[in-house]
Amino acid sequence: MPGLHQATPSQQPADVAGITGAHLLQYIERIERLEEEKTELGEHVKEVFQEAKSGGFDPKIIRIVLRERKRTPEELDEEEMMVHLYKQALGMTPAAS
């Protein structure tokens, strides 16, 4: 993935102020490759969401389920309780007797 400031063969990385240019360049190039892979994976995820939508599923709801699957039951219970409390405070649900 050539960038605007990519070193040309005559401009090889140098060691400056204790920074090893070649070593730093290895990290930069690894990160660039991973960013490319992340972009590709993002495109694949979009395709799967489109497939699910074509199959009659709601992508918004799928995202909610995915988010919830990453959380513990305790975290989910606490959030549900707080949402209910906020709704009560706004008059969106009947108050408990």
Q: What is the pTM of this model?
A: 0.64
Amino acid at 79: E
Tokens (6 digits) for 24: 């730093």
Longest dimension (CA), the chain: 79
Res 13: pLDDT: 79
Residue 88 clears pLDDT 60, i.e. is over it: yes
Res 12: pLDDT: 78
Separation of alpha carbons 95 and 70, rounded Å: 31
Separation of alpha carbons 10 and 86, rounded Å: 64
Instruction: State phi, psi for 19 to the nearest 5 degrees.
Output: -100, 125
**pLDDT per position as a tens digit, 1-54:** 555 566 555 577 777 877 888 899 999 999 999 999 999 999 999 999 999 999
